[in-house]
Amino acid sequence: MTVEPGTRNDLFRWTCLGVAVVFLALVVWMINDIRLQVRQTTEGVKRTNEQVNEHLPTVVQKSRETTEVVSKHLPDVVTKVTDSTELVAEHLPEIVQRVDTTTEVIADLAEDIKQLKELAGLGTTKRDENLIAYTNGALKAIAASGGTIGAKKVIGKGLKNTQPAAEWVAGKRKWTALMLLKFKSKKEVADWLTKGWYLELPDREPIALLDWLREHHPETKALDRGTE
């Protein structure tokens, strides 16, 4: 089919016209959208201004009242602070003197307590610390033996008045602190702990408690070498 030159020109013009109409429609739509956004923003600003104008007098009034209260009471506060400072300055030497006196009294008491401890044999020398540690270690070793402690029968075999070693140690501890006041050496402690007592272990013959300690407690064994 052959298109005449005049018809071809008309088709081109109609096409250009259609494109122009579509373009103008897009431009109009964009302008209208921008207008709507500007209107919404303007309305938001307007509402904000109205709220500020509505509440601003109240805020200003509260600020004014707060300022008036501060201004009214500030002189009293300053006066009270000044009076407190003067009172502290007036009595500070007396307070310092009392603190110094109290410190001296405490120091005197500490010295008295130290002397009383020395008189009672409760000094804090290294020897005393070793004596307490030795006693505690020996009692722990006996309690951990798992045996039975008692006195040897005068007639017959075995022990009498027996107790589990742990219970015997618990009873002995009640007297230990008091007895340590009179002892001056580990040997004296060992003799007191073991005198008259025997230890019996399962399937074994009773053994003198002191002999058992010499075998199983290194510090007691060292006493035979004269080490305390």
**How does residue 121 score in pLDDT terms, banded at 50, 70 and 90?**
very low
Q: Are 190 and 147 in contact (CB under 8 A)?
A: no
Alpha carbon 94 to chain centroid, angstroms: 37
pLDDT surpassing 70 at residue 92: no
Q: Which residue, 131, 114, 225, 211, is CA-closest to 176?
A: 131
Beta bridge partners of 150: 198
Q: How far apart are CA 163 and CA 22, in angstroms?
A: 114
Q: Is 34 exposed, middle or buried (0-12, 13-18, 19+ CB in 10 A)?
A: exposed
* 49-85 pLDDT, tens digit each: 777 677 777 877 877 787 787 777 777 777 876 777 7
Q: What is the pLDDT of residues 133-187, one digit of tens each?
A: 899 999 999 999 989 999 988 887 888 889 999 999 999 888 888 888 888 888 9
Q: Where are the domains of the chain?
A: 65-119, 126-223
**Cα Rg, the chain, nearest whole Å:** 52
Q: The pTM is what? A: 0.44
